[in-house]
């Protein structure tokens, strides 16, 4: 019994111990709550709000019915209507802070989000907004704000790429002047700048702008040049803008309207629109948030009609992409709360310490509290990674949703047409973005594609993107008042009219433009001196002139200030100097070659004669005989090849090789000499002590230049010529006087000017000429403000003038003079230099060396074979005797050597046979002696 009692007591103690342990463990683990409070802030009557409300409620129901997400925990949603009021949004958000809310879905717009984000920072409650797209909300200032749809930064990047794709340079931005519109357009400006485009005009509107206010704003748009309009507003304001634009004629041919995703929201929610509204948006290009097709998305879309049944007094409404993002926002929050609870997240709230000591009794703020687990829940939200009805859901390190993408649509007829996609990964494409994520990114211009667009006014051709404003103001075109060379530009005295070559080219080009250009020519300069064309270009940048035409050279520092057209005159700096005629003399036949060339040519003849003589001497009777005869033969043979009249035949293969190469060289030299001498004797030859710009740089003589020309700065800055040497000249008469006076009589040694002026100057003054080569390359063009589209169109017109011959006809009309047309020849025909022929001489020399080497090798071999015995005893023979014997051998005719070799071989053969017979006879005699002895012995 006692034993049994002991066992029972032990069992009771064990049970009590284990029970207390289990109780202790369960006390240490926080149980999952049954309900988690979350809030939502919408304007229930707005397009986004009514869609978002239905989508959020459907998502809450789906999450609570799926125990695999939160288990026993349920989401308790509190919806508050902000009624389009930022003030009510603030009040409603403060009410959430009184009910221990873990997170808030919303607010709906960016303006309210900016204010409520400050409250969220204080109470550490995450805000998850699927419709506040202002890019600045992603800043570090708002750590508890999380955007669960795409950032407007990406939408503006898509707009900028569309503008760049169609090669437009300027746009007009129409926007609502609040945080949403203002910051979105700022992002658009940054994106356009990256692509060398810009916003030429910003048109802000009040959020509740009246029709009259919109009309006043669009009248300013009608007076501007750009025809590319980007509209970033809300749905109601946007339709008012487009209706007024239709009334003002701003939606006709030539205009381009690009709408952000407010228009696609309107089409998705309220489709079909009334016919009057559809008429206002014909030809528009718009963006829509892109969500890839999936079974989850199709299932939710099929449920939408049932979800919205009876929910609106105005009837059913469509599902926009904001509804899809609202649905996924709830699932995103549910996954984050589940991860938060699984890690034992703190669900407690504490009093807001900053309210201590302040009198907030009348505001009822004492009930506000801080969510102690807010930072942890925020981290869990940013770590979410799942697949929802909008595709893959996750965040980048910058807290933006992954894979930002948009559809590009074109409004046509009663509906829309998808013309492509834009994604941050691959830019513009005609295939869905998700198909490109597995490929390397390719943002090259050739890979950017969109389908054809039907533009406003049913136009299928891409609009030019700009037009002259309907302000009635004429373009102010600056024209330099030239004093010299008025054939290029001159003002008709007593009038405001201009004539000249440059004026005719400008008029012809502007008449080829497909639109009218009202302009007025404004004279620039005092008419007494040639004005500075660089200063004229600078005045374009200050707005004094809208352009400049005339003899304006395109140089580097000017291109930094303005855009130039295609050059219509090719020009460059040249040197003009006095020249004198060179008369023919008795020794003119020596002038084709320089002295050095004459000497090398003569030496080559002698060398070739000597080489051929060496190669032929031993085998050719024509190259043998007494020394005097051989010297004459060498001279005669070598110089007779100049006329191909040599009588001596070459017998050896090496001699023929050398001779044929030399005859080719002689042919080239002969032809060049003949051509050069003909030119010297038949073409007028001019000479000048100045040979070009190099001569002017090396000496200290004064140099003339045309006043107002860029030549002065070029000579000083680029060539390092001292300013004191430069003499400004105004007219052609000053040119003549300065050149005739010369550097010793207060004149100039030469003048540096542009070729176009110089050619006109020389056309009637034959005593001067261009010396040396043109040492700069530039041209003349018309100047317009930076990024002016008129510069491009005028360039195209100038090219057409060049192609159809009109440019040449205008040139001949003003600049063709015939008084000194023969002057077009060069100052002095270049004499033939050795540099032009050294290759031929090198080939011939190499052939000679090769032939001599082979010949010497053969002769040494013959000599060593013929005098083998003497070479064996060469130690006893003096060097002079050996050299004399070798020279004698070299002088012998090869036939003599061959006959001596033959006789020697015959003698050696006879001696060898006699020796063999003698040796045979002695053997026989010895044999008989042996036989006799044997017989005697026997």
H-assigned helices in 617-762: 627-640, 653-682, 693-698, 711-713, 732-741, 755-762
What is the reported pLDDT for 895? 64
What is the reported pLDDT for 143? 92
Same domain (yes/no): 111, 193: no
User: Domain range spanning residue 335?
Assistant: 35-146+317-355+362-394
Banded pLDDT at 471 (limits 50, 70, 90): low
Same domain (yes/no): 287, 387: no
Residues 510-536 have a mean pLDDT of: 90
CATH number of the CATH domain containing 370: 3.40.50.2300
Same domain (yes/no): 175, 280: yes
pLDDT for residue 820 is more than 70 = no
Banded pLDDT at 685 (limits 50, 70, 90): low
Q: Please indicate, yes or no, if residue 306 is contained in any of the structural domains.
A: no
742: left (phi over 0), alpha (psi -120 to 50) or beta: left
pLDDT in tens, 265-293: 999 998 888 999 999 999 999 999 999 99
236 or 85, which is more confident?
A: 236
What is the reported pLDDT for 644? 67
Same domain (yes/no): 699, 788: no
Banded pLDDT at 658 (limits 50, 70, 90): confident
605 or 230, which is more confident?
A: 230
Q: Please indicate, yes or no, if residue 462 is contained in any of the structural domains.
A: no
Q: Please indicate, yes or no, if residue 805 is contained in any of the structural domains.
A: no
pLDDT for residue 620 is more than 90 = no
Residues 623-632 have a mean pLDDT of: 78
pLDDT for residue 823 is more than 80 = no
What is the reported pLDDT for 825? 41
Residue by residue, DSSP assigns 757-785 as: HHHHHHTT-TTEEEES-----EEE--EE-
What is the reported pLDDT for 12? 33
pLDDT for residue 931 is more than 60 = no
Residues 686-707 have a mean pLDDT of: 86
Assigned token pair, 842: 């090198």
pLDDT in tens, 870-924: 555 545 556 777 777 777 777 666 666 667 667 766 766 677 776 666 665 554 5
Residues 19-40 have a mean pLDDT of: 61
Same domain (yes/no): 418, 279: yes
Same domain (yes/no): 259, 408: yes
pLDDT for residue 598 is more than 70 = yes
What is the reported pLDDT for 416? 93
Residue by residue, DSSP assigns 405-457 as: EEEEEEEETTEEEEEEEEETTTEEESS-GGGTTTS-----GGG-------BGG
Same domain (yes/no): 410, 270: yes
CATH number of the CATH domain containing 768: 3.40.190.10
To the nearest 10 degrees (0 to 180), the angle between helices 47-64 and 321-342 is 40
To the nearest 10 degrees (0 to 180), the angle between helices 879-891 and 838-866 is 110
Residues 623-652 have a mean pLDDT of: 75
Residue 183, CA atoms < 13 Å, CB-side half-sphere: 19
pLDDT for residue 247 is more than 60 = yes
What is the reported pLDDT for 683? 56
pLDDT in tens, 756-806: 999 889 888 888 888 888 888 889 999 999 888 889 899 999 999 999 999
How far apart, in Å, do the first and last CA atoms of the chain sit? 159
Same domain (yes/no): 606, 640: yes
Q: Please indicate, yes or no, if residue 866 is contained in any of the structural domains.
A: no
Nearest-angstrom CA–CA distance, 683 and 686: 10
β-strand pairing of 750-754 with 703-706: parallel
Q: Helix, strand or coil for residue 201?
A: strand
pLDDT in tens, 827-859: 444 555 566 567 667 877 887 788 788 878 877
Assigned token pair, 49: 């709000």
Same domain (yes/no): 635, 670: yes
pLDDT for residue 590 is more than 80 = no
Phi then psi for residue 875, to 5 deg, are: -65, -30
What is the reported pLDDT for 583? 55
Residues 543-562 have a mean pLDDT of: 93
What is the reported pLDDT for 427? 93
Structurally, the chain folds into a number of domains equal to: 5
Nearest-angstrom CA–CA distance, 402 and 151: 10
Banded pLDDT at 678 (limits 50, 70, 90): confident
pLDDT in tens, 297-329: 999 999 998 888 877 666 678 999 999 999 999
Nearest-angstrom CA–CA distance, 396 and 382: 9
What is the reported pLDDT for 843? 77
Q: Please indicate, yes or no, if residue 176 is contained in any of the structural domains.
A: yes
Q: How many other C-beta atoms can be found within 10 angstroms of the C-beta atom of residue 707? A: 19
* E strand or H helix at 404: none
Nearest-angstrom CA–CA distance, 844 and 553: 51
Same domain (yes/no): 274, 138: no
What is the reported pLDDT for 934? 47
Instruction: Give the 3-state DSSP-derived string for 467-532, with helices as H, strands as E and coil as C.
Output: CCCCCCCCEEEEEECCCCCCCCCEECCCCCCEECHHHHHHHHHHHCCCCCCCEEEEEECCCCCCCC
Same domain (yes/no): 163, 266: yes
551 or 905, which is more confident?
A: 551
Q: Please indicate, yes or no, if residue 896 is contained in any of the structural domains.
A: no
Q: Order of strands across the sheet with 475-480?
A: 519-524, 475-480, 547-548, 783-784, 563-564
Residues 682-686 have a mean pLDDT of: 56
What is the reported pLDDT for 855? 77
Domain boundary among 800, 835, 869: 800
pLDDT for residue 16 is more than 50 = no
What is the reported pLDDT for 293? 93
pLDDT in tens, 355-370: 554 444 444 555 567 8
Mean pLDDT, all residues of the chain = 83
* Strands (E) located in 292-390: 349-351, 369-371, 386-388
Q: How many other C-beta atoms can be found within 10 angstroms of the C-beta atom of residue 22? A: 10
With tokens 């169609």, the residue in question is 166
Q: Please indicate, yes or no, if residue 372 is contained in any of the structural domains.
A: yes
Same domain (yes/no): 661, 741: no
Residue 282: closest CA among 293, 295, 273: 273
Residues 112-134 have a mean pLDDT of: 90
Residues 60-73 have a mean pLDDT of: 91
Q: Please indicate, yes or no, if residue 505 is contained in any of the structural domains.
A: yes
pLDDT for residue 561 is more than 70 = yes
pLDDT in tens, 408-429: 999 999 899 999 999 999 999 9
pLDDT in tens, 78-105: 888 887 666 776 777 677 666 678 899 9
pLDDT in tens, 185-227: 999 999 999 998 999 999 999 988 999 999 999 999 998 889 9
């Amino acid at each position: 019994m006692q034993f049994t009692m002991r066992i029972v007591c032990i069992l009771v103690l064990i049970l009590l111990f284990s029970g207390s342990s289990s109780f202790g463990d369960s006390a240490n683990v926080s149980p999952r709550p049954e309900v988690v409070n979350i809030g939502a802030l919408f304007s229930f009557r707005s397009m986004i709000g009514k869609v978002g409300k239905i989508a959020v409620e459907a998502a809450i129901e789906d999450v609570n019915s799926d125990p695999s997400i939160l288990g026993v925990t349920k989401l308790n949603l509190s919806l508050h209507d902000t009624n389009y009021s930022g003030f009510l949004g603030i009040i409603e958000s403060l009410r959430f802070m009184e009910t221990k809310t873990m997170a808030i879905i919303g607010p709906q717009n960016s303006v309210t989000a900016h204010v409520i984000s400050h409250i969220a920072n204080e109470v550490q409650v995450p805000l998850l907004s699927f419709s506040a797209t202002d890019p600045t909300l992603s800043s570090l200032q708002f750590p508890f704000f999380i955007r669960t749809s795409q950032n407007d930064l990406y939408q503006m990047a898509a707009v900028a790429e569309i503008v760049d794709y169609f090669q437009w340079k300027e746009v007009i931005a129409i926007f609502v002047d609040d945080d949403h519109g203002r910051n979105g357009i700022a992002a658009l400006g940054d994106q356009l700048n990256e692509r060398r485009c810009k916003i030429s005009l910003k048109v802000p509107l009040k959020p509740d702008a009246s029709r009259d206010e919109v009309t006043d704003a669009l009248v300013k748009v009608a007076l501007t040049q750009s025809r590319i309009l980007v509209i970033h507003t809300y749905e109601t304001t946007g339709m008012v803008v487009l209706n007024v634009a239709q009334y003002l004629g701003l939606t006709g041919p030539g205009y381009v309207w690009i709408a952000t995703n407010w228009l696609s929201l309107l089409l998705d929610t309220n489709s079909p629109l009334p016919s009057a509204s559809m008429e206002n948006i014909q030809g528009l290009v718009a963006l829509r948030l892109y969500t890839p097709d999936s079974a989850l998305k199709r299932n939710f879309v099929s449920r939408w009609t049932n979800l919205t049944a009876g929910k609106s007094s105005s009837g059913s409404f469509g599902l926009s992409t904001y509804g899809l993002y609202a649905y996924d926002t709830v699932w995103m929050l549910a996954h984050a709360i589940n991860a938060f609870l699984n890690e034992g997240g703190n669900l407690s709230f504490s009093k807001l310490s900053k309210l201590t000591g302040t009198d907030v009794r009348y505001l009822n703020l004492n009930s506000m509290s801080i969510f102690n687990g807010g930072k942890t829940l925020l981290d869990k939200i940013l770590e979410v990674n799942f697949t929802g009805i909008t595709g893959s859901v996750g965040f980048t390190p910058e807290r933006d949703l992954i894979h930002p993408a948009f559809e590009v649509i074109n409004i046509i007829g009663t509906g829309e047409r998808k013309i492509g996609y834009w994604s941050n990964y691959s830019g513009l494409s005609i295939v869905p973005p998700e198909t490109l994520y597995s490929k390397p990114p390719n943002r090259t211009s050739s890979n950017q594609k969109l389908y054809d667009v039907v533009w406003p006014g049913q136009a299928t051709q891409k609009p030019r993107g700009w037009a002259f404003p309907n302000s009635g103001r004429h373009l102010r075109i600056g024209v330099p008042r030239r004093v010299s060379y008025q054939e290029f530009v001159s003002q008709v005295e007593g009038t405001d009219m201009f004539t000249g070559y440059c004026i005719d080219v400008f008029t012809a080009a502007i008449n080829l433009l497909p639109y009218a250009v009202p302009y007025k020519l404004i004279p620039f300069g005092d008419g007494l001196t040639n004005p500075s064309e660089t200063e004229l270009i600078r005045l374009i940048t200050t707005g004094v002139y809208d352009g400049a035409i005339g003899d304006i050279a395109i140089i580097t520092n000017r291109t930094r200030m303005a855009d130039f057209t295609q050059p219509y005159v090719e020009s460059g700096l040249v040197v003009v100097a006095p020249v004198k005629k060179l008369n023919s003399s008795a020794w003119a036949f020596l002038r084709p070659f320089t002295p050095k060339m004459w000497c090398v040519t003569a030496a080559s003849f002698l060398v070739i004669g000597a080489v051929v003589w060496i190669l032929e001497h031993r085998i050719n009777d024509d190259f043998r005989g007494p020394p005097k005869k051989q010297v004459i033969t060498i001279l005669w043979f070598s110089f007779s090849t100049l006329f191909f009249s040599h009588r001596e035949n070459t017998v050896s293969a090496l001699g023929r090789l050398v001779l044929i190469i030399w005859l080719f060289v002689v042919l080239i030299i002969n032809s060049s000499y003949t051509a050069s001498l003909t030119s010297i004797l038949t073409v007028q030859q001019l000479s000048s002590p100045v040979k070009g710009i190099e001569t002017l740089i090396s000496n200290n003589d004064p140099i003339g230049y045309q006043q107002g020309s860029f030549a002065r700065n070029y000579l000083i800055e680029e060539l390092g010529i001292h300013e004191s040497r430069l003499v400004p000249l105004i007219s052609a008469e000053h040119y003549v006087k300065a050149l005739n006076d010369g550097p010793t009589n207060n004149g100039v040694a030469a003048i540096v000017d542009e070729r176009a002026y110089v050619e006109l100057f020389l056309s009637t003054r034959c005593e001067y000429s261009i010396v040396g080569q043109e040492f700069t390359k530039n041209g003349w063009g018309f100047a317009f403000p930076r990024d002016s589209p008129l510069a491009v169109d005028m360039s195209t017109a100038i090219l057409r003038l060049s192609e159809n011959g009109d440019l040449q006809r205008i040139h001949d009309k003003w600049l063709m003079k015939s008084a000194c047309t023969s002057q077009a020849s060069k100052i002095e025909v270049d004499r033939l230099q050795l540099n032009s022929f050294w290759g031929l001489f090198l080939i011939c020399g190499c052939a000679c060396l090769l032939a001599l080497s082979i010949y010497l090798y053969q002769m040494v071999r013959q000599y060593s074979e013929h005098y083998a015995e003497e070479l064996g005893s060469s130690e006893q023979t003096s060097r002079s005797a050996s050299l004399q014997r070798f020279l004698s051998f070299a002088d012998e005719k090869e036939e003599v050597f061959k006959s001596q070799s033959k006789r020697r071989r015959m003698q050696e053969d006879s001696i060898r046979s006699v020796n063999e017979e003698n040796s045979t006879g002695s053997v026989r005699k010895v044999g008989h002696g042996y036989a006799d002895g044997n017989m005697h012995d026997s």
